[in-house]
Amino acid sequence: MAMVILISALTATHLKAQDNFVFWPDADYDPAIPTVKDVLGYKAGERITWHSDAVRYFEALAKAAPERVSVAKYAESWEGRELIYVVVSSAENMARIDDIKTGMQRLADPRKTSRAEANDIISDQPAVTWLSYGVHGNEISSTEAAMLTAYHLLASRGDQRVADIMRDTVVVIDPMQNPDGRDRFIHHFETAEGLVPDSDRISAEHNEPWPGGRTNHYLFDLNRDWFIMTQPETRGRVEILQEWYPVAFVDAHEMGSDSTYYFAPQAIPFNPYLAGDQLASLALFGKNNARWFDSFGLDYFTREIFDAFYPGYGASWPSYFGSIGMTYEQASSRGLVVRQYDGNDLSYAYTIRNHFVTSLSTAEITAANREKFLTDFYNYHSSAIEDGSKDSIKSYILPKQADQAAVNKLTGLLVQQGVEVGRANSSFDACGSSYAAGTFVINTAQPSKRFIRTLMDVNVPMEESFLAEQERRRAKNLRDEIYDVTAWSLPLMMNVKVDTCYRPVNEKFTAAGPELIQPGTVSEGAGSVAYLVPWGSAPAVRLLVNAMRKGLAVKSSDLAFTHNGNRYPAGTLILDAADNPDNLPEIMTDLAHSTGADTTSVDNSWVTDGPNFGSQNVVRFNQPKVAIVWDEPTLSYSAGNTRFIIERQFDLPVTAIRARQLINSDLSRYQVLILPQSGYRQGYADVLGKKGTANLKDWVAKGGVLIGLGNANRYLADPNIDLQSIRRENAVVETGNEKSSGTSSKNENKPMEATVKGSNLADASAYRDSITPEKDKPDSVAGVLVKSDVDPDHWLGAGVAPTLNVLVRGTDIYTPIKMNKGVNVAAFRGADDLLASGYIWEQNRKQLAYKPFVVAQRSGKGYVIGFTQDPNVRAYLDGLNIIFMNAILRGSAHARPVR
């Protein structure tokens, strides 16, 4: 694009502002170090830099000053873009950079490093400052700030602050944590550009088309993914951070365009497992940022929002490794210039400058407090071990269980994040129970203790005062300040049984490895008659999908059965030798190995209890062609994360179809269609209209399986659509006052009265009632884990754990389906036993009781299946995988289209 012409065509004042824009007053730069303009042809702030150009710039810096800067790759995005980090420090430090890393690794484990040794390391070691930019791809300014920060550190002459930073710290810059999202944003921005940059927010260049640049390729919010590591970008970061162990970690973001700048200290609630000195140090960084902002005359705020309670943020995860984690947020220009509410034009250069200033300010504070931060870092880990030996929970025991694959994945995830997990070499007794060999044990007296408790505990409590304040706000109809989910317990989300023990378990252990999948085995006979694969674990699903993709004939029993003395759960796969190629034994061995599924080969078909292999209760699979609705009106996270689970965790290709295509297209090629959650602007009814709905109904009647996730059920259950017989509920009318539910109070046929009946407001409570609006919908829940019981008689529940933990968010609650219309395959528990983890409003807890989570309804030759809460959020509710994949795979096997 002719960027030079574009720039010269800016309005005169704007041009002047850009031309004279001073990123750092009085800087004296060495001309031997290339500027952004030298390498890319424009000055910082004049263009939004593409991923490949940013990489090119850092490589140019490394070429110009190889003794002070290095560039390394740490991951590759789904779309093939390199993720890099840039290390900047003095030549002396760079010459011994490996020793510096080793020093940090030694400080991170006080069991191996005595205090005296630690003091030696601390006296001799620079501290690492980690600056991470652009995890949200449409938060653009920080990547430019990354380039300026590196340039400033390398090119400044005669600046004592820079000399201090280069001597006392190693600055690691991650310039772009989400390159796919960033380039997606730039592509749309440049496509919409005209003669001059437009500051009007309704202009096309400020309106990102679906899905926007925030997320990565599979539309994940990478700033929620840290502890669950589903995405390659996150996995790479988790690995390098455990190599470098920064003492300070900044995640630089952007926020709404009308705001100013936000930095530490963060908002409450604090995670109770963080150390006090970490919180105290936040103020050091905040105060220094404030000092610089005062000298530049810039506005900022702290503390009001952006807590670090949830451990999956960039600003929280490093805190569990002894770092001081921080979020910085700049008001976004979402382009080259944006008009703010007061009429001010906020330029891109201005936003870049602010992140640049706080980046240097952060490194300055690390340098000034080098010794303190390194000592705090060591103390963090030694106090973690100490606490772990004093806590009431001293070990977590993961006994052998039906879904052992889930246990393997959970322990693999923890090991990848530096947790030491032991696998018992023989059986043992502990805390009143007996455990088999192979049981996993996590003792808490280790450096990762705080991280372990945060992820493994059933509940991480929020401060009472914070919760009281939220209830006070809710009573006043003010928005609550809970920023994200209040529950994330890994064992609950993965449906893994864990025992806690008040004493450490010291048996003979083998250290568990980082693998998420253990190769499966084939046991028993020669397989002359069939292979059996017990249902109910992720590996079995992967095996089924891969077997179908290889063209194998697979069937499955809807009921449990006993064969040769072994009990097989409902859903167990049966691969008959007679229906499959002669080399089935080799294929099955390969499949068991690659998918992790344990399989049994049998030499007779005699079943002693339950259906035989030729029973009516045994269904044959046909590899379904699966489609997911894409683009408006879907919620991009729901669409992308669902597609990720099906494609990348279960190997089944998914066709993404833009919603508008559903109005007229022939869908007969597809057996399954998934409606993800819808977004905020419009719903499915708005986009599909009558014609699209008729098309969907016709397709279901002919044998399609339609699956609605979360609020997509508002559409399916809409009385005017009636694809499904459940209905969405309003808030419950509270007895004893005159509040009533939304719909019943809308007396639309009655003419409006000019006056109303008079009343005396006798007390404050009557006054409060008089100003409380009628409540349409239940209050929105930020995110809690709720128990749901599964009906084992329905094929959708085949192989599924009897109780599931469901993440409940938002306002959607539906009526149960009547027995003559369909089956409530999974329903929430009664109010007193509902909550598994997190904080839920009292009214929601009562109203959710016994309401459906999964509903299946036969419709013509097909099915409509509703999940009233999205089972695929962040791809981290592994415990819901089987019932969701049942809907796809068993749903299409049970539908009866003409074939």
- In angstroms, what is the minimal distance from the CB of 418 to Zn ion? 26
Segment lying near Zn ion (by CB under 5 A), choices 250-258, 366-374, 605-613, 831-839: 250-258
Q: Strand 395-398 vs strand 345-347: parallel, antiparallel, or unpaired? A: unpaired
* Residue 215 or 671 having the CB closest to Zn ion: 215
* Residue 253 or 714 having the CB closest to Zn ion: 253
| DSSP per residue, 553-565 | --EEESS-EEETT
Q: How far apart are CA 40 and CA 9, in angstroms?
A: 19
Binding mask 684-713 for Zn ion (x = CB under 5 A): ------------------------------
- In angstroms, what is the minimal distance from the CB of 337 to Zn ion? 20
* Residue 334 or 381 having the CB closest to Zn ion: 334
- In angstroms, what is the minimal distance from the CB of 233 to Zn ion? 14
* Residue 68 or 253 having the CB closest to Zn ion: 253
Which spans in 169-275 are helix H?
Answer: 179-192, 232-244
Segment lying near Zn ion (by CB under 5 A), choices 77-85, 186-194, 252-260, 826-834: 252-260
Segment lying near Zn ion (by CB under 5 A), choices 92-100, 130-138, 646-654, 735-743: 130-138
Give the residue closest to Zn ion by C-beta. Answer: 253
**Residues contacting residue 158 through CB under 8 Å, at least 6 positions apart:** 28
Segment lying near Zn ion (by CB under 5 A), choices 131-139, 319-327, 485-493, 777-785: 131-139
Place of tokens 């938060």: 139
Place of tokens 């499959």: 580
* Residue 253 or 409 having the CB closest to Zn ion: 253
Q: How far apart are CA 796 and CA 764, in angstroms?
A: 52
Segment lying near Zn ion (by CB under 5 A), choices 251-259, 603-611, 660-668, 728-736: 251-259
* Residue 635 or 706 having the CB closest to Zn ion: 635
Q: Is 136 in the site for Zn ion (CB under 5 A)?
A: yes
User: Which tokens sit at 336?
Assistant: 């080259």
- The β-bridge partners of 102 are none
- In angstroms, what is the minimal distance from the CB of 355 to Zn ion? 12
**DSSP code at position 335:** S
Tally of CB atoms within 10 A around 686: 13
Q: Is 253 in the site for Zn ion (CB under 5 A)?
A: yes
List the interface residues with Zn ion, window 858-877 (CB under 5 A).
Answer: none
Place of tokens 């078909």: 605
- In angstroms, what is the minimal distance from the CB of 359 to Zn ion? 16
Three-class DSSP category at 516: coil
**DSSP code at position 778:** P
- In angstroms, what is the minimal distance from the CB of 86 to Zn ion? 21
User: Which tokens sit at 698?
Assistant: 């016709």
* Residue 211 or 879 having the CB closest to Zn ion: 211
Segment lying near Zn ion (by CB under 5 A), choices 247-255, 421-429, 470-478, 699-707: 247-255
Q: Is 542 in the site for Zn ion (CB under 5 A)?
A: no
Three-class DSSP category at 650: coil
Segment lying near Zn ion (by CB under 5 A), choices 31-39, 132-140, 314-322, 792-800: 132-140
| Residues 600/575, Cβ–Cβ less than 8 Å | no
- In angstroms, what is the minimal distance from the CB of 109 to Zn ion? 33
| Residues 140/48, Cβ–Cβ less than 8 Å | yes
* Residue 141 or 408 having the CB closest to Zn ion: 141
- In angstroms, what is the minimal distance from the CB of 869 to Zn ion? 25
Three-class DSSP category at 329: strand
Q: How far apart are CA 414 and CA 320, in angstroms?
A: 13
Q: Is 334 in the site for Zn ion (CB under 5 A)?
A: no
* Residue 133 or 377 having the CB closest to Zn ion: 133
Q: What's the Cα-to-Cα distance from 110 to each of 381, 387, 868, rounded to whole Å? A: 7, 13, 48
Q: How far apart are CA 273 and CA 453, in angstroms?
A: 8
- In angstroms, what is the minimal distance from the CB of 139 to Zn ion? 5
- φ/ψ of 433, rounded to 5, equals -130, 160
Nearest CA among 353, 233, 249 for reference residue 292: 353
Residue 305, classified by CB atoms within 10 Å of its CB into exposed (0-12), middle (13-18) or buried (19+), is middle
User: Which tokens sit at 526?
Assistant: 């020669």
- In angstroms, what is the minimal distance from the CB of 268 to Zn ion? 20
* Residue 332 or 470 having the CB closest to Zn ion: 332
* Residue 351 or 847 having the CB closest to Zn ion: 351
| Residues 838/493, Cβ–Cβ less than 8 Å | no
Segment lying near Zn ion (by CB under 5 A), choices 138-146, 176-184, 299-307, 559-567: 138-146
**Residues contacting residue 80 through CB under 8 Å, at least 6 positions apart:** none
Segment lying near Zn ion (by CB under 5 A), choices 136-144, 202-210, 457-465, 762-770: 136-144
* Residue 177 or 323 having the CB closest to Zn ion: 177
Q: How far apart are CA 565 and CA 563, in angstroms?
A: 5
- In angstroms, what is the minimal distance from the CB of 438 to Zn ion? 42
- In angstroms, what is the minimal distance from the CB of 692 to Zn ion? 34
Residues forming the site for Zn ion (CB under 5 A): 136, 139, 253
